[in-house]
Amino acid sequence: MLTAVLFDVDGTLADTERDGHRPAFNRAFAEHGLADRWDVEDYGRLLSVTGGQRRIERFLAERGHPDPAGLARALHRAKTEHFVEWVRSGPVRCRPGVDVLLADLRAAGLRLGVVTTGRRAWVAPLLDRLFGPAAFETVVTGDDVERLKPAPDAYLLALRRLGLDAAAAVAVEDSPPGLAAARAAGLPGVVVTNGYTAGAGFPGAAAVLESFDGLDAAGLRRAAHAPATRARPDMRG
């Protein structure tokens, strides 16, 4: 029986990548005297690397920087400060239909959790602003695990905290690395794509949707017990 739904954050609960994280990275580059700037397409390609600090480090290493790890740490600290500022004062909002889905899941008695590679320093204020405090029973961030997605560690930790087996939960993700992490932890995964991930391959997904329109508790229950497929099942109650 499905008793919990675990959500990714970036690109899933909110479209934060293009107009939130990306400009924050660019401001950090400028502050540190770097000429690099990530445009919309560049950033989309870089999203294959999970975790902002790892993304910067890979980027710097590919350009032959003498200390990619050290500079990546400094850049990521600055980027996080800029992103938190945007979260607190910018035009951030949840993806259309997310608030309706969460209300329906709560009404159905399902437990809600968050599993993200993001840092708690920005994840906590983002969730508080969008959904209010204590909206989720557990929140696992990149600070809580050694290995980030696509490794299953964050999902496994969330299940331990909830005291559940993988069969009792379903993951809602937006990207191939996120789905891979959920599947490696034994969870079925429902994918809701966004502008960056539309058209990507999602092998093993229980369902692949273009939006949250019509997605409800009954649909998630069906998807959690459906054979892994890319086909779109009827997700309406």
pLDDT for position 226? 75
- Given the residues 8, 15, 153, 174, select the one marked as catalytic: 8
Contact 200, 180 (CB under 8 A): no
pLDDT for position 90? 84
**Tokens 């968050």, residue?**
114
Question: Which residue ranges form the domains of the chain, and what is each CATH number?
Answer: 4-15+93-224 (3.40.50.1000), 17-89 (1.10.150.240)
DSSP 165-202: -GGGEEEEESSHHHHHHHHHTT--EEEE--TTTTT---
Q: pLDDT tens string for the chain (237 positions)?
A: 899 999 999 999 999 999 999 999 999 999 999 999 999 999 999 998 999 999 999 999 999 999 999 999 999 999 999 999 999 998 899 999 999 999 999 999 999 999 999 999 999 999 999 999 999 999 999 999 999 999 999 999 999 999 999 999 999 999 999 999 999 999 999 999 999 999 999 999 999 999 999 999 999 999 888 765 444 444 444
In 3D, which of 7, 64, 62, 51 has the Cα closest to residue 25? 51
Structure-block tokens of residue 206: 């229980």
pLDDT for position 150? 97
- With vertex at residue 150, the alpha carbon angle to CA 140 and CA 69, rounded to the nearest 5 degrees, is 85
pLDDT for position 71? 97
User: Does 42 qualify as catalytic in the annotation?
Assistant: no
pLDDT for position 228? 54
The pairing of beta strand 189-192 with beta strand 169-173: parallel
Say what the pTM is.
0.91
pLDDT for position 223? 84
Contact 210, 228 (CB under 8 A): no
pLDDT for position 1? 87
Q: Where are the beta strands (DSSP E) in 99-167?
A: 111-115, 138-140
- Given the residues 10, 153, 174, 216, select the one marked as catalytic: 10
User: Does 36 qualify as catalytic in the annotation?
Assistant: no
Amino acid at 88: R
Q: How many CA atoms lie within 13 A of 11 on its CB side?
A: 26
